[in-house]
Structure 1
Amino acid sequence: MASSRHDFATLLRAWRDRLSPADAGLTVTAGRRAPGLRREELAQLAGLSVDYVLRLEQGRARNPSAQIVGAIARALQLSVAERDQLYRGAGLLPPRDGTVSTHVPAGIQRLAARLGSVPVGVFAADWSLVWWNTLWSALLGDASQLPPSEGNLARAVFGDGAAHAAMPPLRHEAGQAFEAMIVADLKDAVSRYPQDVQLDRLVQESRALSDAFARHWDTETAATLHSSSRKTVQHPRVGEIRLDSDVLVVPNADLRMVTYTAATGSSDAEKLDLLRITLEATEDVTASGKSVRKT
């Protein structure tokens, strides 16, 4: 076990030094000496405390969970082979084939990071949120504050736990068609990942909790094609904001990239810009104070 902790710490430090902050969607300031990510930046991207990252790199934090290792692998934009190496370094078995992958390829992360003026969230095949930018958090809430099992769109829509409670007042003009799309996607995922225990638990719990979910599950026969839709968010800072929601499917990675946009010059675009400007001002203040914001 001591050897595994040493291997994990070595890999963590080496891969943190390798990743450009620009590729991670972070602002690079003049006079920066570190070529890779700072420790606090990795903590921010992975939703961890700086102290915990320090203890991991020093080999003092024992037995990181699979969820933590997965979050670090995504934050460091590791390849699948490197991700598996990091799992083994932590004394864990890498994710098995035949289960829903939460791995986000580096190219997808770089693409999403460059859409800084647009709220972007990346979801796995079971609609678990696995990557999001700061504007997504500003619009819809910080998913890193949720328990790992609750960071799922199906739980937010059909459940009664933390994910549902944290979801801002939101009206989807597609109505039941939106719900049907989520359920149809989950049915498709179950057919392709029959050995995934967490996916099966999500479906069984959702069917037990929600009559609407059970009704859709019993009637939907095929995955619904994703299309543009309109959503209205009642935001505590900018008020009601109507946005176009688009789902971009990443086939080879089995991911869904969700974006929210508004027409240029519209009042909704102005409200989104206000959120972004407020967010940037907050980041400037916290950076000068050496404190950390979670992504």
Structure 2
Amino acid sequence: MKNIDHAGSRSQSPDLATLLRSWRERLRPEDVRLPFRGQGRRTPGLRREEVGWLAGISPNYVQRLEQGRAHPSAGILRALARALQLSKAEFELACRLAGHAAEFDGMVPQLIGPSVQRVLSRLPDVPVAVFDAAWTLLEHNELWAALTGRAWGRAGRSTNLIWRAFQHDIGDMGPVRHAFPADHKASLVADLRDVASRYPRDRQLAGMIGELRRTSTEFARLWEGSAVAHHGSERKTIDHPQVGPIELDCDVLSVHGADLRIIVFTAAPGSEAAGKLQLLAVIGLQEMTA
């Protein structure tokens, strides 16, 4: 008697194309952060264009993957795992089926499990973002985007806090103002040094560090130093163009077993900052009119 795979079709063993389609169909638009909400859906789950937006790939490529006409790279597979909210076991299965299992050994984890996704969706009145151990932004809720003034991209070095801090063409850390900027940068670099020692086989991480050492004398000096520190919680001021400066408590939470960082901005109840956050929750990314 033949086994039944995850998608319900009869086969000797699941194939990646069938699994990708079944994982897409089990998600609902309200399960993920999307910039659009379609009506009159004829098929269950997310649309291919929605998965493509979440993973940073074209809907046509998603279709080819689901039809078995394309083979995803390790980077694409990692992005799809985040977009489809795969569990660790599901991600490992996808890696084996795609032939990339060995490539992810020793890489910085970027898998966001369903429980962390629920934290993002169930705290709409608190700016929340999820970063990997190397401070690459993986996901954020809508209030985080409203507070920082933009919705960051979904992949690449431009979403990494440390890359943004030391690249002159980007400028600075954005609207977030730190009480002691030099100490903040030093703690980030010291923290990154520790991460690099734990994930020595991550080529993307090594490439980013090498580029920063070549292009930023400040980063190179800090990297060669001996300071040992970890970037953690502190009080920060966010200069917002519409509501003005907002002074907030910034806490960094760790996800046990996943090596993820969750950054949460909060304000004391009844404070001026709390009122400004409430206002941002209403206006979102839209500019206030006179």
The reply to whether TM is greater than 0.5 is: yes
Match in the other structure for 2:252 = 247
Identity %: 47
Of residues 55, 65, 75, the one that matches 1:67 is 75
Could you tell me which amino acid in structure 1 is paired with residue 214 of structure 2? A
In the TM superposition, 1:149-168 aligns within 5 A as 149-161=157-169, 164-165=170-171, 167-168=173-174
Match in the other structure for 2:218 = 212
Alignment check: 8 A CA contact 1:100 1:196 kept: yes
Distance 2:80 2:146 in 1: 22
Distance 1:280 1:116 in 2: 14
Could you tell me which amino acid in structure 2 is paired with residue 233 of structure 1? I
Match in the other structure for 2:200 = 194
Of 27-36 and 72-81, deviating more is 27-36
Alignment check: 8 A CA contact 2:145 2:285 kept: no
Match in the other structure for 2:6 = none
Task: Note if 1:112 corresponds to 2:117.
Answer: no
Of 45-54 and 181-190, deviating more is 45-54
In the TM superposition, 1:13-92 aligns within 5 A as 13-24=21-32, 36-50=45-59, 52-59=61-68, 62-90=70-98, 92=100
Task: Note if 1:185 corresponds to 2:185.
Answer: no
Match in the other structure for 2:151 = 142
Alignment check: 8 A CA contact 2:165 2:172 kept: no
> Residues 207 and 278 (structure 1 numbering): CA distance in 2 closer, same or farther, change over 3 Å?
same
> Residues 24 and 273 (structure 1 numbering): CA distance in 2 closer, same or farther, change over 3 Å?
same
Of 185-194 and 229-238, deviating more is 229-238
Alignment check: 8 A CA contact 1:169 1:234 kept: yes
Q: TM-score, normalised by structure 2?
A: 0.78
Of 100-109 and 22-31, deviating more is 22-31
Alignment check: 8 A CA contact 1:187 1:223 kept: no
> Residues 116 and 220 (structure 1 numbering): CA distance in 2 closer, same or farther, change over 3 Å?
farther
> Residues 236 and 132 (structure 1 numbering): CA distance in 2 closer, same or farther, change over 3 Å?
same
Higher relative contact order by CA 8 Å / sep ≥ 6: 1 or 2? 1
Indicate the structure (1 or 2) with the bigger Cα radius of gyration: 2
The alpha carbon displacement at 1:257 in A equals 0.6
Distance 2:37 2:211 in 1: 44
Task: Note if 1:173 corresponds to 2:201.
Answer: no
Could you tell me which amino acid in structure 1 is paired with residue 210 of structure 2? Q
Distance 2:187 2:165 in 1: 12
RMSD: 3.3
> Residues 76 and 272 (structure 1 numbering): CA distance in 2 closer, same or farther, change over 3 Å?
same
Alignment check: 8 A CA contact 1:122 1:132 kept: yes
Distance 2:62 2:38 in 1: 23
Unpaired runs of 5+ residues, structure 1, are 1-5, 283-295
Match in the other structure for 2:268 = 263
Alignment check: 8 A CA contact 2:28 2:46 kept: yes
SS at match of 1:189: helix
Match in the other structure for 1:293 = none
The alpha carbon displacement at 1:260 in A equals 1.6
Distance 1:239 1:225 in 2: 26
> Residues 96 and 42 (structure 1 numbering): CA distance in 2 closer, same or farther, change over 3 Å?
closer
Q: TM-score, normalised by structure 1?
A: 0.77
Of 183-192 and 85-94, deviating more is 85-94
The alpha carbon displacement at 1:211 in A equals 3.0
> Residues 117 and 226 (structure 1 numbering): CA distance in 2 closer, same or farther, change over 3 Å?
same
- Matched pairs, number: 272
Alignment check: 8 A CA contact 1:174 1:230 kept: no
1:185-233 residue CA offsets vs partner (Å, 9 max, x unmatched) = 1111122112222222222222233333233223344232622x12222
Alignment check: 8 A CA contact 1:244 1:261 kept: yes
Distance 2:74 2:171 in 1: 25
Task: Note if 1:11 corresponds to 2:19.
Answer: yes
1:50-105 residue CA offsets vs partner (Å, 9 max, x unmatched) = 55544543456x34443332222112111223113334555645642222111122
Match in the other structure for 1:290 = none
Distance 2:171 2:64 in 1: 33
Unpaired runs of 5+ residues, structure 2, are 1-13
